[in-house]
Amino acid sequence: MQASKTSTSSRQGSLRFALESYAHSITSLRTAMSAEQDVAVPRANVLWTTFFLGLFELMQDSSGHGWLQHMIYGTSRALIASGPSACTSGSTRTFFAQARTFEVCRAIIFNEPTFLAQPEWMDVTSPPLDSSILSERTQGLAIPYPHGSSPPRVSGFATP
């Protein structure tokens, strides 16, 4: 591997290209978000686009304001617009898994409520418990004692 010094004009050209691509992406995202439902871009595309634009903003803007807009607020708003039912499988589920961390941080940092506390969103984070799996995993852990008897004493531990 070899490092080479990039000329100033080459760096400026790369920066210009990156910023033009970013501006084009923002315009395309706005168009996709305002499209009619029957021709709308898949939700996962909008969510992941918001995420990657936020990463670009984090690298580009040292103040972090752009990153806050897209990564913290934008992803939350996009998730709310998608609804919890969209976050149950596929790449939207994967997006939800990573974005909820940002949403929790946003709620803590800004001392604001979060949509994740609503029952329908809590159902997304904790699927219904399958009692057969639970009993299978805990089988053998509980030792039934006949009525009137007590558990065996283990030396070194106090009994209640």
Decide which of 112 and 141 is more confident.
112
Is the full-model pTM beyond 0.75?
Answer: no
Inside any domain, residue 24 = yes
Q: Given this model, what pLDDT does residue 10 score?
A: 84
Residues 30, 1: Cα–Cα separation, whole Å: 41
> Cα separations (Å) of 143 from 117, 138, 140, 147?
37, 11, 7, 12
pLDDT tens string 13-62: 898 999 999 999 999 988 887 776 554 457 788 888 888 888 888 888 87
Q: How many domains does the chain have?
A: 1
**CA within 13 Å, CB half, 88:** 10
- Residue 49's nearest CA partner among 80, 71, 81, 66 is 71
Residues 45, 40: Cα–Cα separation, whole Å: 10
Residue 62 domain boundaries: 12-127
